[in-house]
Amino acid sequence: MITAYIALGSNLQNPQQQLHHAIAALAALRDSQLLQVSAIYRSPAIGPGEQPHYLNAVACIQTELDPEALLDALQAQEQAQGRRRELRWGARTLDLDILLYADQVIDTPRLQVPHPAIQQRNFVLYPLADICPANFVLPDGADLDTLVSNCPVGELEKTGLQLQ
Ligand code: ROI
């Protein structure tokens, strides 16, 4: 069994409900178990034009799916929840990204793990740190607590909303 961390994001069509559906799908994912889900965070969209704020969260699963099969399942869920081919960095009903897959480093045309944006994005780092074990270290040796203290909280807000 592999422990994997998945980032969830939505800024269209009732984002809170989108995240709830996505968590239900992760809980039902074959050959996998949902272990933990962070609180929901709200932040201004990084991306072009005027966009609604995002809701973000991070989930931890245990899985026997290999990385590509996990990615297939996540992309199928994005499609099931109405994600359309969109503008780069445009608004979306649901984004599901594999942040970490055990301590594996994966670099294929389809999949980069650890997710390349982890270190710069407060809406990924803060919820990730909520549910990671203490003194967690990323595959490149970076210490999660240090990354969090170097990443300004800015306009990121922890909401009182829970998904589990
Ligand atoms: N901006 C925020 N705040 N949250 C996201 O999850 C998010 N996801 C994205 C882009 C478009 C980069 N902007 C985002 O994919």
Q: What is the pLDDT of residues 30-46, one digit of tens each?
A: 999 999 999 999 999 99
Which pTM was predicted? 0.96
Q: Does residue 26 lie in a domain region?
A: yes
pLDDT at 157: 98
Domain that holds residue 141: 2-158
Q: Does residue 84 lie in a domain region?
A: yes
Low-confidence ranges of the chain (pLDDT < 50): none
Residues sharing a CB contact under 8 Å with residue 116, sequence separation 6 or more, in sequence order: none
Check pocket membership of 43 for ligand 1, CB cut-off 6 A: yes
Q: Does residue 74 lie in a domain region?
A: yes
Alpha-carbon gap, residue 95 to 55, rounded angstroms: 11
Q: Does residue 164 lie in a domain region?
A: no
How many folded domains does the chain comprise?
Answer: 1
CATH number, domain of 30, equals 3.30.70.560
Q: Does residue 37 lie in a domain region?
A: yes
pLDDT at 89: 83
Check pocket membership of 89 for ligand 1, CB cut-off 6 A: yes
pLDDT at 84: 83
pLDDT at 83: 87
pLDDT at 88: 83
How many angstroms does the Cα of residue 51 sit away from the middle of ligand 1? Answer: 10
How many angstroms does the Cα of residue 97 sit away from the middle of ligand 1? Answer: 11
Q: Does residue 28 lie in a domain region?
A: yes
What are the C-alpha distances in Å from 113 to residues 28, 47, 108, 150, 155? 23, 22, 9, 21, 26
